[in-house]
Amino acid sequence: MPELPEVETIKGDLRELVVGSSIERAEVLDPALVEQPSVEEFVHRLAGVRVTGARRRAKHLIVELDTGDSLVFQLKIGGQLLLVPPVEEPRTALMLVLHLDGGRRLFLRDQTEFTRVRLLDAGELEARLSPLGPEPLEEGFAVEYLRETLGGRKAQIKPLILDQKVVAGVGNIYADEILFDARLHPRRKANTLSDAEWRALYGAIRENLAAGVEHRGTTVRLYRDVLNRPGEHQNYLRVFEKHGEPCPHACGGEVVREKVGGRPTHFCPGCQRLSGGGEEQRLTLA
């Protein structure tokens, strides 16, 4: 599933390869893709426009146009944007084709068919993005924010860091890795975390997401960049989908997989104890 690092990678590819191009026409192959406006208006408003920029907000990929509109993609589980050429033309699971100048085409394919796109004006875009939490790799994100926002809550820590209104861009893969690094059980209640554990969580969020960006995303199954290349961060995962394997910390435990907040979750019960906040753990994490 494209999370912050994957969408950041695609954004960079679009800036390099597509920004400055004109969209001659849009071809919608799956009407369910377009959530706003109507398919007819979507196609009409994209004809002859120029791509002026690309940016990311949380897991939203935003393609800016010279009309002031923005194409806003949510790639969900399996969405891929592929530039043809140089990529070979995809033949299956196609949802959208943007015909660009110079004979190039930007294909959106998704085997899961969950990807959605909106064409929004400036006011609609602002309203769409306004509920999102801070960007965890930007300067405004701080340990004090996490502690003050979540420290009084009795909810489990994993669903909280997956909440896009709390931390923008974290998804299931990176959440498991973050909690493993911070040595926090995914079911720990936020109001039980010590100051040292908040610092560990904050550091793990930034370090894991930055590493994912550096490695151009994680390809577990479907993720590809605009040139159809897999990411590399899957080679650095410690617990995600590693259930049944020994803990990477050599604690003698084994990585397990359980449902937490309705999501498949991977962790080491030996390193990530459900009881926490004691003096021994605070000293270990400090």
Residues 72 and 104 occupy one common structural domain: yes
Please tell me the number of Cα atoms within 13 Å of 266 on its side-chain side. 22
Domain limits at 154? 143-285
Q: Domain with 148 in it: what CATH number? A: 1.10.8.50
| 244 and 181 within one domain | yes
pLDDT single digits (tens) 69-79: 999 999 999 99
pTM beyond 0.85: the answer is: yes
Compute how many other C-beta atoms are within 10 angstroms of the C-beta atom of residue 139: 7
Q: Say yes or no: 208 and 268 in one domain.
A: yes
Contacts of 278 (CB under 8 A, 6+ apart): none
In angstroms, what is the C-alpha Rg of the chain? 20
Read off the pLDDT of each residue in 180-184 and give the average, rounded to a whole number.
98
Same domain for 239 and 156: yes
Q: Does residue 242 belong to any structural domain of this protein? A: yes
In the chain, how many domains are there? Answer: 2
Asked if pLDDT for residue 276 goes beyond 80, the answer is no
pLDDT at 248: 94
| CATH number of domain containing 81 | 3.20.190.10
In a domain, 136, yes or no: no
CA distance 185 to 180: 8
Please tell me the distance from the alpha carbon of residue 136 to that of residue 58, in angstroms, as a whole number.
Answer: 9
Least confident range from 27-41, 90-104, 221-235, 265-279: namely: 265-279
Please indicate, yes or no, if residue 252 is contained in any of the structural domains.
Answer: yes
In a domain, 137, yes or no: no
Q: Say how far apart CA 285 and CA 67 lie, in whole Å.
A: 51
Residues with Cβ < 8 Å from 40, sequence gap 6 or more? none
- Conformation bin of residue 154: beta by default, left when phi > 0, alpha when psi is -120 to 50: alpha
Task: Write out pLDDT tens, residues 37-85.
Answer: 999 999 999 999 999 999 999 999 999 999 999 999 999 999 999 999 9
Residue ending a domain, among 129, 157, 190, is: 129
State the catalytic residues: 2-3, 59, 263
Backbone torsion region of residue 249, taken as left when φ is above 0, otherwise alpha when ψ lies between -120 and 50, otherwise beta: alpha
Does residue 134 sit within a domain? no
pLDDT at 283: 34
What's the confidence (pLDDT) of residue 210? 98
Residues 122 and 188 in one domain: no
Distance CA 8, CA 117 (A): 17
Would you say 69 and 45 are in contact if contact means Cβ atoms under 8 Å apart? yes
Final residue of a structural domain among 94, 129, 164: 129
Domain boundary pick from 97, 129, 161: 129
Shared domain for 90 and 25, answered yes or no, is: yes
Instruction: Tell me, yes or no, whether 80 and 203 share the same domain.
Output: no
